[in-house]
Structure 1
Amino acid sequence: MDWISSTVYTLACHATDEGIALDTTMDQIGQRRSSTLTSIVREAIENMIISGELSSGDRINESALAARFNISRGPIREACRGLENAGLIRNVANQGAYVREMSLEEARALYEVRRALTALVGELLVERASDETLDELQRLVERMARAVEEDDLSTYYNLNLEFHNTMVANADNPALERYYGDIVKQLHLFRRRGLLQHGNLRASNEEHVKIVEALRRRNGSEAAEALRQHVICGWQRMVGTLEES
């Protein structure tokens, strides 16, 4: 091979390599964009379930969501597959995706796991929570008290979520936060019902007061027990509400 032919061959190979690299990079960018969009859609649907906009048994209308978010139906379908793995949605062949309907026995099992995880949160907070974190928890309890007086279930429910999320985040244990989050997301299919019965908001927030008091005393066993009892009482309120309905 002469010098000219060798040079042309080398340039052609280089161009081919660059083309392959460019194609690979563009594929990766496309996959990343698709993954990011799917994650955004998944979070949006999760929030619709948490807020009660989507209830147990509701069908996920892909066309309506695609129009709402101004996207194709593909990311919505992918998000629903992920939410099925998380236990929030069930996909029915040839029918579509539906918000999962949870049985009482399934909810009981999840509450038992949550009870243990929440007690651990209390122990870790005693060791790791700053005074500023405890002040923030106190402010949330006071805001929930106002919601109780106004009988404002929606505000109370959201503040209650913030209260528990703040505790878990400040326990400074990513594994615990992940497992706890998975449990709580599934219990959103059930939990709001437990606050509907008259007097349940007040009882729930009185338990929050005891939790913060135990944390301020930096008493690990007391904090763990206060949180454990809070979950047990939450389950009892849930069952009581269902028995009345």
Structure 2
Amino acid sequence: MRTSTSTNSATQAISQRRANTITSIAVDAIEEMIVSGELVAGDRINESTLAERLGISRGPIREACRSLEQAGLLTSKVNRGMYVREVSLDEARDLYELRGAIAGLAGELIVKRADDAEIAKLSGLVDQMQVAADKSNTADYYKLNLQFHDALVIAARNSSLEDTYRKIVNQLHLLRRRGLVQEGNLQVSNAEHKKIVAALIQRDASAANNALREHVSNGLTRLIASL
């Protein structure tokens, strides 16, 4: 009897772990579709289509949608299903303000904690973005821009800061992409990146904080101008 109970418990644990893994795969897939622009604000989430595409049942898709709703990426409409959340300008302003504060702190932490190789990586990404900006290649610039900001928060070496930052940025992906598309914004945005990296290379915590806060604030200004 004890063996049977133990076996059942182990089987249930394995099944639960497998279900959690499949749900995580679905979460990552939907997030990537939002980040890439394949799903945009206001789009309805088609559970059947996604399940078929990912080769899984609709259950994990449903669980993933609930998780993404809690993360602020999706919203549910009564009797209509899940939709990609539309962020209002007021909501975007609140998120940008919070992001600016976190980015400034990240700059200070990078100065204190990052090694030269991490800062060199950031500088290299800025160089690559300049090539994309010179060619007006928005798609490449956007991908590199995401890599740059990801590398920034990783270099800060604060997991709580990184988690909070990613939750905020995930809600701003669509808005940020739209703001960058405006003519001339790629060059302006990368000039700000260069200023950030220069402060990091100089190990100037105050300048890094200010440069990152300014970059985020200017991002909001560009967003408003694009509306």
Q: 2:23 aligns with which of 33, 38, 49?
A: 38
Aligned pairs for 1:17-32 (under 5 A) are: 17-32=2-17
Answer yes or no: is 1:63 the counterpart of 2:48.
Answer: yes
Q: Which residue number in structure 1 is paired with residue 167 of structure 2? A: 182
Q: 1:209 aligns with which of 194, 205, 208?
A: 194
Q: Which residue number in structure 2 is paired with residue 7 of structure 1? A: none
Answer yes or no: is 1:238 the counterpart of 2:211.
Answer: no
Output the TM-score relative to the length of structure 1: 0.92
Q: Which residue number in structure 1 is paired with residue 129 of structure 2? A: 144
Q: 1:127 aligns with which of 109, 112, 122?
A: 112
CA contact 1:123–1:220 (8 Å) conserved in 2 = yes
Q: Distance in 2 between matches of 1:198 and 1:47?
A: 26
Output the TM-score relative to the length of structure 2: 0.99
1:94, distance to aligned residue in structure 2 (A): 1.7
1:190, distance to aligned residue in structure 2 (A): 1.4
Q: Distance in 2 between matches of 1:142 and 1:189?
A: 24
Moved over 4 A (4+): none
Q: 2:79 aligns with which of 82, 94, 98?
A: 94
Q: Distance in 1 between matches of 2:64 and 2:28?
A: 9
Q: Which residue number in structure 1 is paired with residue 34 of structure 2? A: 49
Query: Which moves more between the two structures, 76-85 or 186-195?
Result: 186-195
Query: Which moves more between the two structures, 165-174 or 184-193?
Result: 184-193
Amino acid at match of 2:2: D
Amino acid at match of 1:21: S
Which consecutive unaligned segments of at least 5 residues does structure 1 have? 1-15
SS at 2:56 equivalent: coil
SS at 1:112 equivalent: helix
Q: Distance in 2 between matches of 1:211 and 1:189?
A: 23
Q: 1:115 aligns with which of 78, 91, 100?
A: 100
The percentage of aligned residue pairs carrying the same residue is: 53
Q: Distance in 1 between matches of 2:116 and 2:14?
A: 44
1:33, distance to aligned residue in structure 2 (A): 0.3
SS at 1:190 equivalent: helix
Q: Which residue number in structure 2 is paired with residue 218 of structure 1? A: 203
Q: Distance in 1 between matches of 2:157 and 2:56?
A: 37
1:154, distance to aligned residue in structure 2 (A): 1.1
Q: Which residue number in structure 1 is paired with residue 57 of structure 2? A: 72
SS at 2:75 equivalent: strand
Q: Which residue number in structure 1 is paired with residue 214 of structure 2? A: 229
